[in-house]
Structure 1
Amino acid sequence: MGRTRIAALLCGTALLTTGLTTGIATGATTGVQAAGPATAVRSGVHVPGTAAAATRAGAPAPAEPPPCVNSPLPYSGQAADVVRIAEQARKQLDLAAVLLRVTVDGKELVTAGLGESMAGVPAAPAQHFRAGSVADAVMGTALLRLVDEGRVRLDDPVSRWLPDLPHAHRITLRMLASSTSGLVDYATDPAFLAAREDDPFRQWTSEELVARATSRPLLYPPGANWSRSRANSVILGSALERITGTRLDVLLRQRVLDPLGMRETRSAATPEIPSPVLHAYTSQDESYEDSTYWNPSWTTAPGAVLTTDICDLARSAAGIGSGKLLSSRSRAQLLDPGTVGLGGPTSTCSASVCLKNTKATHYGAGVLVLDDWVLQNPSFSGYSAVQAYLPADRLAVAVATTEGRRTPGGNTAELVMGRLAEVLAPGRAPAPAVSGAGALGPDRPGVG
């Protein structure tokens, strides 16, 4: 099993949305544009005055970020190459929209919106979209900050805070963050898939999601293998709330989002997305639908269901990938919490589920490490995105895409990012993200 498979398992949505996302074209049905900011989970949109407290000791609060807009024309040099390649990929992959931002050492190289959000509405960098598994990277960093403060240890059993959870005495915080608990992934259960297909607007509770995972036997003894399970994220979110006594949405803002200047990244209790909105489309039952407001409550823990814009996604790539909020010891744990060398098929876990983690391609504490890149790659309900950071070059690449009628399956943002990386870091593009949809393949059973 190669690096393509582990990256694929982490991100795609093709099987979860039944038909591969094949989205928008002129004349497709469109949804109603969100009128204003999303209603935050338990009212926790923004906590004034927390940025300074959340940064590492002695560090000043970050300045208010500038507006997220297209870079000034005309593009030149590498910026022109990036936009040209992205536009070529948009046309070749029949993408409705591509949003991108590239920064080097925190300085903007280029920001651009290409294509359309809806028919007649140009795609723009300030438009918000769903962040999916970026929340795993945020939660992993929040956990490691608590480790740095001596509040917890990675090897503490979850039973300290969630004593009634099945297997809690055997599952540790490390296992939840690194997806090595052995819990079944409820999102690949046929009954769950059918329920989502029947009603994509359904509001799921964390209790429902965890029950679906814990009602089935563990795939392997906790810590003995690796497999993607969204139950890990849901349970980790609950544990973080119990550890700190703070709502998860507020905790993530205090510990990660505000310190990284991610003002446009929000958590909501409803499927609403703050305006302006990047619309997503998907095909299901042979029809093209606006999937923008399909309910994402099943994807992760309440309070970590995030929306963002492309500028914040680039900030997340650089801030989390560099480990700037962490001690050197915790950054090492972020990149390898013991997963390198772990994993592989067993008699109770197939080769498509239990995957081998290698030094070149492995999962960390909420991040995916591909060669020298640190990334996350969400893809579900018509949205695809990737945040990627190359530490040696201090290079951050953020891409978000929505799909057209003839878009191939897989995470198309990752495909675009791979083509950009070939220009931005010649010879060092992450292996799964290379030109051509076939590189990622259609067998991507999951969501980011």
Structure 2
Amino acid sequence: MTHPSTRLRSGVVAALTTALLAVPAAGGAAGSLPPAAPAVEQPSPSPSGDEVRELTPAVRRQLDAAVQRVMREANVPGVTVGVWTPDRGAYVKSFGVADRNTGRAMTPNLSMRIGSETKTFTVTALLELVDQGRIGLDDTIGQYVEGVPNGDRITLRQLAGMRSGLFNYSEDEGFFKALTSDPYRPFTPRQLLDYAFRHPVLFQPGEKFSYCNTNLILLGLVVERISGRSLADYINDTILDPAGLDHTLFPTGSEFPTPHAQGYTDQTATGRVEDAADWNPSWGWAAGAMISRLGDLRVWARTVATGQLPNGDRLISPALQKERLTTPSTPIPGSGYGLGIFDVQGWIGHNGSLPGYESLTVHLPSVQATLVVVLNTDIDHRGQEPSTLFGNAITKIISPDHVFDLPAQPAAR
């Protein structure tokens, strides 16, 4: 059986570790769910394209059936799905429960932990500093953080593109034991790096792709050093406020805005399923600690894929955005990973996983279509993350020429 620590990746490409996205997997199956609450549909303006199907009543029924099928098969308590296109309609709907104990229904307005989608914000913060001329992507990490193995050779670009060769701290046995023995404890960035740096490098910088949360911890420290501010404050003031993401935050502890969904995980010391809503996400920090809502993620999907704010201003310069979206291939066919962002069959964005929660936020620029999925479990189904199963099932219906497909692969140990 795969050791739980191989999934403690706080999101994306967890399968991309030489796969794409997530957190620890200790075995154990979710208990039986209470009767599903009725689906809750929220009317939404339809924010173009020949490559996505028109969201007719018949297509909506297909989406309902596909989402409910994945829920049953993967034993997902609750999920909310949003699909938006400029001229072919929109679909926003919640299914199941946000709280198994009370039967409270899942709804589109709930705050959710978004795991590795945090990486898109941290790398955006880094790119803003590059745009300002305060740092360079080809600077080495050793110029900013001491004690990094190969620090005089690993560049900021290689860190953001998951090609550093550093060991992923969330794969360390000692880290897994520390986290699961007390999931409410805080971790500092330096403590996280210590878990990584006790291991030899996996390969030389730039040699290949390997998904690694350690990279983002280092980039978070760079942002703090150059900006002179905490990462949370910098992201809030230079990204969240300009983008109008009023329900997105970088928590400094275990705070979780209400209303939020409870989150169910088997990433525990015993492997039993527990509610992780109040666990401290500091272990994910710049790699996976953030919180958001469906509506904000809809806005962010387009913003991060285009570098353009909703008001038309640029968040990232066109030249740097082009560099960001240069996505060398990964071990997964049809996918590439750029600077803190991936491209899977044309869908640009990121997925995320933290104990109890998973998410998927992607944009299809060719037709300006956006897909967001948020759910309240991170328990795999036959080696697949539920968020990927939903993304695959939905895109098979709405964009059959652009099917989101991230087959699970063994995580690096």
Question: TM-score, normalized by length of structure 2?
Answer: 0.82
Partner of 1:53: none
Structure 1 residue 418 displacement after superposition:
1.4
Given candidates 289, 296, 301, the residue that maps to 1:312 is 296
Once the two structures are overlaid, the 10-residue window that deviates more, 322-331 or 113-122, is 322-331
Q: Distance in 1 between matches of 2:87 and 2:352?
A: 23
Partner of 1:225: 208
Structure 1 residue 225 displacement after superposition:
2.2
Structure 1 residue 400 displacement after superposition:
1.2
Superimposed CA distance per residue, residues 309-353 of structure 1 (whole angstroms, 9 cap, x where no aligned partner): 1111222222112222222221221122xx626xxxxxxxxxxxx
Partner of 1:287: 272
Once the two structures are overlaid, the 10-residue window that deviates more, 393-402 or 17-26, is 17-26
Contact 1:240 1:248 in 2 (8 A): yes
The letter for the 2-side match of 1:374 is I
Over 3 Å counting, the alpha-carbon distance change for 1:24 and 1:125 in structure 2 is farther
RMSD over equivalenced CA pairs, Å = 3.0
Asked if residue 380 in structure 1 is aligned to residue 365 in structure 2, the reply is no
Contact 2:94 2:106 in 1 (8 A): yes
Give the match's secondary structure for 1:287: coil
Size of the aligned set, in residue pairs, is 377
Partner of 1:431: 405
Q: Distance in 1 between matches of 2:371 and 2:386?
A: 14
Gaps of 5+ in 1: 28-67, 342-354, 433-438
Give the match's secondary structure for 2:395: helix
Contact 1:156 1:172 in 2 (8 A): yes
Q: Distance in 2 between matches of 1:380 and 1:320?
A: 21
Asked if residue 213 in structure 1 is aligned to residue 184 in structure 2, the reply is no
Q: Distance in 2 between matches of 1:445 and 1:71?
A: 43
Question: TM-score, normalized by length of structure 1?
Answer: 0.76
Superimposed CA distance per residue, residues 24-72 of structure 1 (whole angstroms, 9 cap, x where no aligned partner): 7349xxxxxxxxxxxxxxxxxxxxxxxxxxxxxxxxxxxxxxxx98227
Q: Distance in 2 between matches of 1:196 and 1:261?
A: 34
Q: Distance in 1 between matches of 2:17 and 2:87?
A: 26
Q: Distance in 1 between matches of 2:88 and 2:291?
A: 23
Over 3 Å counting, the alpha-carbon distance change for 1:257 and 1:79 in structure 2 is farther
Give the match's secondary structure for 2:150: coil
Spell out the pairing of 1:12-91 with structure 2 (5 A cutoff).
Answer: 12-13=22-23, 16-19=24-27, 22=30, 25-26=33-34, 70-71=42-43, 76=57, 78-91=59-72
Structure 1 residue 242 displacement after superposition:
1.1
Partner of 1:171: 154
Over 3 Å counting, the alpha-carbon distance change for 1:159 and 1:288 in structure 2 is closer
Q: Distance in 2 between matches of 1:357 and 1:89?
A: 22
Structure 1 residue 7 displacement after superposition:
7.6
Give the match's secondary structure for 2:19: helix
Over 3 Å counting, the alpha-carbon distance change for 1:88 and 1:71 in structure 2 is farther
Given candidates 332, 340, 353, the residue that maps to 2:328 is 340
Q: Distance in 1 between matches of 2:107 and 2:379?
A: 21
Q: Distance in 2 between matches of 1:4 and 1:128?
A: 23
Over 3 Å counting, the alpha-carbon distance change for 1:379 and 1:23 in structure 2 is farther
Over 3 Å counting, the alpha-carbon distance change for 1:357 and 1:405 in structure 2 is closer
Gaps of 5+ in 2: 1-12, 45-55, 309-314
Superimposed CA distance per residue, residues 184-233 of structure 1 (whole angstroms, 9 cap, x where no aligned partner): 01111122222222222221111111112123222122222221111111
Over 3 Å counting, the alpha-carbon distance change for 1:78 and 1:328 in structure 2 is farther
Contact 1:22 1:407 in 2 (8 A): no
Q: In percent, how many aligned pairs have the same letter?
A: 26
Give the match's secondary structure for 1:388: strand
Give the match's secondary structure for 1:255: helix
Given candidates 121, 128, 149, the residue that maps to 1:145 is 128
Q: Distance in 2 between matches of 1:395 and 1:89?
A: 22
Partner of 1:326: 316
Contact 2:356 2:378 in 1 (8 A): no
Spell out the pairing of 1:131-142 with structure 2 (5 A cutoff).
Answer: 131-142=114-125
Contact 2:115 2:358 in 1 (8 A): no
Structure 1 residue 286 displacement after superposition:
5.2
Give runs of ≥4 in structure 1 deviating > 6 Å: none
Over 3 Å counting, the alpha-carbon distance change for 1:406 and 1:22 in structure 2 is farther
Structure 1 residue 146 displacement after superposition:
2.3
Contact 2:28 2:273 in 1 (8 A): no
Q: Distance in 1 between matches of 2:208 and 2:73?
A: 38
Q: Distance in 2 between matches of 1:228 and 1:406?
A: 18
Structure 1 residue 247 displacement after superposition:
1.8
Partner of 1:301: 286
Contact 1:99 1:114 in 2 (8 A): yes
Contact 2:79 2:375 in 1 (8 A): yes
